[in-house]
Amino acid sequence: MRYLKFIVTLVVLTVIIACKDSTSHKAGAEKAVYKCPMQCEGNKAYTKLESCPVCKMDLAMVENQNSKITEDAISDESIFNLTTTWHTEEGNAIQLKDLRGKTLVMVMIYTTCKAACPRLVADMRNIEAKIPKDKLNDLQFVLVSIDPKNDTPTRLKAFAKENFMDGEQWTFLQGNESGVREFANVLAVKYKQISPIDFSHSNIISVFNSGGELVHQQEGLGVDNKETVDSILKLVQ
Ligand SMILES: [Cu+2]
């Protein structure tokens, strides 16, 4: 019986190592997780290399679950198919697919808005506040400007600071006019410039899974965010 356990362990370890070797190049900088090779607690994962509390065997390293999705092909519905280059509030040039691997909570705003956007921003912060701190690493809250002319990276950075949203989990994006319009169309967000400094716009917060597929939208200002939070928590479990 003991030999059998040993052989099973060897086989499992070999498979894990083989899988890891073939995927490690693509997986990028995902953090490692550890699981019991005997799966005493099913799929339970640990973040430290220790021993299984049930069988006392050393845990084996496996890739983060997120990396599974990272390696899969992008589906036709994914926003990662959009090829516009954006600039973050830090001035970095990125494409949406660079956000791959995280659950995304996205909203379109502009920083000089005096009416709806301050409330949308508050709604985003209220959603963030309901997410357990240890889950925030798996999430990115993204605010896309519908006013790329005025919302430069510098302006976005200042706005982030003013609103206490300069933590790692917050990203602000400046695009170009066609890229912003294209993205808005995907979200079904409508916006229209009504004066040199004002836009009318829809108020929609969208949740995407780590493959960039839309899973939930909430529409309105100050609406009950329970469904939105639940949809996020399901994705980051
Ligand atoms: Cu607004």
Tell whether pTM > 0.85.
no
Evaluated on CA atoms 127, 87, 211, 36, the torsion sign reads negative
Domain shared by 128 and 187, yes or no:
yes
Domain shared by 30 and 139, yes or no:
no
Residue-wise pLDDT tens digits, 135-181:
999 999 999 999 999 999 999 999 999 999 999 999 999 999 999 99
Residue-wise pLDDT tens digits, 191-230:
999 998 899 999 999 999 999 999 999 999 999 999 999 9
Please identify which residue in the block is written with the tokens 């329970």.
226
* Whether residue 4 has pLDDT greater than 60: no
CA of 122 to the centre of ligand 1 (A): 12
CA of 33 to the centre of ligand 1 (A): 41
CA of 214 to the centre of ligand 1 (A): 22
CA of 46 to the centre of ligand 1 (A): 43
Share of the chain above pLDDT 90, in %: 67
Confidence of residue 187 (pLDDT cuts 50, 70, 90): very high
CATH of the domain at 126: 3.40.30.10
* Amino acid letter, residue 192: K
Domain boundary among 26, 41, 71: 71
CA of 14 to the centre of ligand 1 (A): 55
Domain shared by 182 and 101, yes or no:
yes
How much is the CA Rg of the chain, to the nearest whole Å? Answer: 21
Domain shared by 96 and 194, yes or no:
yes
Mean pLDDT score, 60-76: 65
Residue-wise pLDDT tens digits, 22-52:
444 444 444 567 777 777 776 777 777 778 7
Domain shared by 32 and 84, yes or no:
no
Domain shared by 94 and 159, yes or no:
yes
Confidence (pLDDT) at 31: 57
Confidence (pLDDT) at 73: 83
Confidence (pLDDT) at 104: 98
Confidence (pLDDT) at 128: 97
Query: What residue numbers bound the domain in which 25 lies?
Result: 2-71
More confident residue, 107 or 7: 107
Domain shared by 121 and 221, yes or no:
yes
Domain shared by 30 and 88, yes or no:
no
Confidence (pLDDT) at 67: 46
Domain boundary among 30, 46, 71: 71
Domain shared by 85 and 201, yes or no:
yes
Domain shared by 142 and 230, yes or no:
yes
Domain count, the chain: 2
Domain shared by 52 and 116, yes or no:
no
Evaluated on CA atoms 210, 212, 213, 218, the torsion sign reads positive
Domain boundary among 52, 71, 90: 71
CA of 209 to the centre of ligand 1 (A): 25
CA of 115 to the centre of ligand 1 (A): 6
Domain shared by 52 and 92, yes or no:
no
CA of 116 to the centre of ligand 1 (A): 4
CA of 162 to the centre of ligand 1 (A): 16
Strand arrangement of the beta sheet that strand 45-46 belongs to: 45-46, 33-35, 60-62
- Long-range pairs for 173-178 at CB < 8 Å and ≥24 separation? 173/86, 173/87, 173/88, 173/94, 173/142, 173/143, 173/144, 173/145, 174/86, 174/87, 174/88, 174/145, 174/148, 175/84, 175/85, 175/86, 175/87, 175/144, 175/145, 175/148, 176/84, 176/148, 177/148, 178/84
